[in-house]
Amino acid sequence: MYVILVYDIGEKRVGKMLKHCRKYLNWIQNSVFEGEITEVKLKEMVHSARKIMDEESDSLIIFKSREERWLDKQVVGLERMSTDNFL
Amino acid sequence: MYVILVYDIGEKRVGKMLKHCRKYLNWIQNSVFEGEITEVKLKEMVHSARKIMDEESDSLIIFKSREERWLDKQVVGLERMSTDNFL
């Protein structure tokens, strides 16, 4: 499935979360990731993300689309997509 | 159509962009909006967003899905969705 992930994480934890999400998805903008992922890998990512987060104050939202082609993407201005999204 | 909008805007312009996007979509998290919108209204929103942005350094990404039901949403931690998303 194709997912878009956005997070709003406290400053002390955001570096760790960035590193964590980069193992699974492509960083495309400040606090925003996208990419293809399996249900199992998504569960694994969310499970360990919870350990990083303070669930009282941090927020993580994942939009799941069964197919990438059901999602059109329009970029206005600078495209910040980084290519170094692999370990 | 249903859209998810994320932006990364310079500090001097972000307040204006927040106010602008709120006229069209629901704010759900820092720099993230979602909601139902027509093609015409989306064009209008992007057109005026460009006037606010510095397209050399700011970034706006819009994911469009023809139907909301093609998108599942999972929230982990705090759900920051604000209710005052109307003019």
**Pairwise CA distance, residues A12 & A8, whole Å:** 12
Domain count, chain A: 1
Residue A78 contacts B, CB cutoff 8 Å: yes
A87 belongs to a structural domain = no
Digitized pLDDT (tens) for each residue of chain A, 87 residues in all: 999 999 999 999 999 999 999 999 999 999 999 999 999 999 999 999 999 999 999 999 999 998 778 889 999 998 877 544 444
Please name the helix (run of DSSP H) or strand (run of DSSP E) that holds residue A42, with its range, or none: helix A39-52
Give the CATH number for residue B13. Answer: 3.30.70.240
The pLDDT tens digits of the residues spanning B23-73 come to 999 999 999 999 999 999 999 999 999 999 999 999 999 999 987 788 899
Give the Cα separation of B72 and A45 in Å (integer): 17
Distance CA B6, CA B20 (A): 13
Query: To the nearest whole angstrom, how far is the Cα of B67 from the nearest Cα of chain A?
Result: 9
- Provide the residue range defining the domain that includes A44: 2-66
Contact predicate B4/B32, CB 8 Å: yes
Residue A33: closest C-alpha in chain B: B6
Asked if the structure places residue B11 within a domain, the reply is yes
Q: What are the C-alpha distances in Å from B3 to residues A62, A72, B28, B83, B86?
A: 14, 9, 12, 18, 17
Tell whether A8 is in a known binding site.
yes
Would the pLDDT of B86 be above 70?
A: no
Q: What is the pLDDT of residues A46-64, one digit of tens each?
A: 999 999 999 999 999 999 9
Separation between Cα atoms, residue A16 and residue A1, nearest integer Å? 25
Interface test with A, best of B1, B2, B6, B51 (most A CBs within 10 A): B6
Task: Determine contact: B56 vs chain A, CB below 8 A.
Answer: yes
Name the residue facing A58 among B8, B64, B78 (closest C-beta).
B78
- B76 within a domain of the structure (yes/no): no
Residue (of B37, B35, B1) closest to A72 by Cα position: B1
Q: Provide the shortest C-alpha distance from residue A87 to chain B (in Å).
A: 24
| B12: in domain | yes
Do the chains contact at B64 and A74, CB–CB below 8 Å?
yes
Residue B69: the pLDDT is: 80
